[in-house]
A and B are shown apart, each in its own frame.
Chain A
Amino acid sequence: MSDPYGELVDRSRRGDTAAFAKLVAETQGRVYNLAYGVLGNREEAQDVSQEIYLRVWRALPRFRGDAKFSTWLYRVGINTCLNRRRQLRAQLGVVDDQEVLRKFEAPDGHPLSTTIERERRQALWETVGRLPEKYRLVIVLFYQHELTYREIADLLSLPLGTVKAHLNRARKALAKLVRFPQEAGDVPL
């Protein structure tokens, strides 16, 4: 398996900090976006990203290269973000429940019902941040990180069907919020 970061990883594993700095520079965008996608807060994302790289640096001597470095990095990243989110859950007041998805509603004054596409798009992106964790995570990995269903399933150790089901439930919940001015009545779900 050819790993684009193979050489940098090898050098970093041997303690080459310059190589690790390059590795950080090349991957920090993805790590930061993953952290922001899970935590929804820039400062927390920044802090957790640093934590992720620190853990990666410490664990690199044990990295055997069975998987691609990027896959391993995602795994460390997801674990770290979810741990942090668990710690923050009480403060953020997040209820990670199927019920949230069923009763999903846009906040007051949310412009999802407007016809202005730019605003609606912006509002939908913001609403993704209010989805329950498991749905938001697959949305972020699929759309923002452009991972395949299979890669997400492997990364989260979920069956392929569950990944697709999570994505479809999230799409349905978001679609429930979209209204056009000429529409009336219930939205099927």
Chain B
Amino acid sequence: MSLCDQCCQELPQYIADDEPALARYQALRAHLQACDRCRAYALRLRVVEDALRTYPAVSPEPGMTLLVMRRVVAPGRRGEEEWQLLPWDVSVPAIALVLALGLLIVSMPPQPPPAVPVQELERAFFELPSTIDAWLTPVRALMSKDIFWAAWSGVFATTAGLGIGLSLANWNALNREGLDRLGDRIAHVVTWVFGSTRRAG
């Protein structure tokens, strides 16, 4: 990395911190004295910094408190959140996962497999692919083998990947409130279910 590149990396923070006389910036200061191009860049950053420090506040419309209070005192449920549709970035992965699970359940055999003695577990493990193969016989009868496996694997991998990927992409504290609300909803449902059970008892 050239001195100019290094200077350009450090300059924004240096200018924002009011150009502190710290030893670690000694090389930067020396370079600024010697390099016209970087000095000009520092000047531009100072202009930006000055403008941002005077970033103006805007005033809300008069009567905002009144408008808020009108909505607050309107009949509504306090302490409870309104039920609403989940946003697409939550609902799409959720639907995809439900579909994937549904597909998995549909592809299960109608009867549970026979119990396997413990000593035969290892053999059963190696025979698992053929067991699964047997489970899928009725489904496969409807489709050709290649198309079925391609479709099944593709749908499963895509939905699972989409679900996990989107969930992770949205996993940050901005969703913390949403998680709190989800927790409250679950608690609300649990309370309602147990309350109903107790009343019924």
Q: Which residues of A contact B (CB under 8 A)?
A: 15, 17, 20-21, 24-25, 28-29, 32-33, 36, 42, 45-46, 49-50, 53-54, 57-62, 75-76, 78-79, 82-83, 86, 120-121, 124-125, 128, 139-140, 143-144, 155-158, 164, 167-168, 171-172, 174-176, 178, 180, 183, 185, 187-189
B49 CB, min distance to chain A CBs, angstroms: 7
CB distance B48 to A143 under 8 Å?
no
A124 to B87, CA, bound (A): 34
Contact with A along B58-78 (1 / 0, CB 8 A): 111100110111011100111
Tell me if B174 and A54 are in contact (CB < 8 A): no
User: Which of B40, B61, B177 interacts with A79 by CB under 8 Å?
Assistant: B177
* A/B interface sample: 23 pairs, CB < 8 A: A17-B72, A20-B72, A21-B65, A24-B68, A28-B64, A28-B68, A29-B59, A36-B58, A46-B60, A49-B60, A49-B64, A50-B68, A58-B78, A58-B79, A59-B79, A60-B78, A60-B79, A61-B79, A62-B184, A79-B174, A120-B47, A125-B51, A144-B55
- Residues on B with beta carbons closer than 8 Å to the beta carbon of A46: 60-61, 64
Given contacts A49-B64, A120-B51, contact A188 B45 (CB under 8 A): no
For B174, list chain A residues within 8 Å (CB): 78-79, 82, 156-157
**Residues in chain B near residue A59, CB distance under 8 A:** 79, 81
The one of B47, B79, B87 that contacts A83, using a Cβ cutoff of 8 Å: B87
Chain B residues with CB under 8 Å of A82's CB are 174
Is B44 a contact of A187 with CB atoms below 8 Å? yes
Apart from the given pairs A33-B58, A62-B79, A171-B45, 15 other A-B contacts in the complex at a CB distance below 8 Å: A28-B65, A32-B59, A42-B61, A46-B64, A53-B72, A58-B81, A75-B176, A78-B174, A79-B174, A121-B51, A124-B52, A128-B52, A128-B55, A139-B52, A174-B51
Task: Give residues of chain B (32-61) contacting chain A, Cβ–Cβ below 8 Å.
Answer: 37-38, 40-41, 43-45, 47-61
Distance of B56 from chain A, by nearest CB (Å): 7
Expressed in whole angstroms, the Cα–Cα distance for A144 and B58 within the complex equals 10
Q: Is the CB of A188 within 8 A of B4?
A: yes
The CA of A164 and the CA of B14, in the complex, are separated in Å by: 12
B binding-site residues for A, Cβ under 8 Å: 4-5, 8, 12-13, 15-16, 37-38, 40-41, 43-45, 47-61, 64-65, 67-69, 71-73, 76-81, 87, 172-178, 180, 184
> Which of B8, B40, B52, B65 has the most chain A CB atoms closer than 10 A to its own CB?
B52
Interface pair A50/B48, CB less than 8 Å apart:
no
Question: Which 8 residue pairs across A and B have the least CB separation, nearest first?
Answer: A157-B173, A32-B60, A124-B51, A61-B79, A168-B12, A178-B44, A175-B44, A171-B12
Q: Is the CB of A156 within 8 A of B173?
A: yes
Most chain A CB within 10 A, of B5, B13, B69, B180, is at B69
Provide the bound-state CA to CA distance between A60 and B77, in Å: 12
CA distance A59 to B178 in the complex (A): 12
- A143 vs B4: C-alpha distance in the bound complex, in angstroms? 28
B48 touches A124 (CB 8 A): yes
- Return the chain A residue nearest B178 by Cβ: A79
Are the CB atoms of B61 and A58 closer together than 8 Å?
no
Set of chain A residues within 8 Å of B38, measured between Cβ atoms? 188
**A103 to B71 Cα, complex, angstroms:** 43
Docked CA distance A99–B33 (Å): 33
Contact A61 B177 (CB under 8 A): no
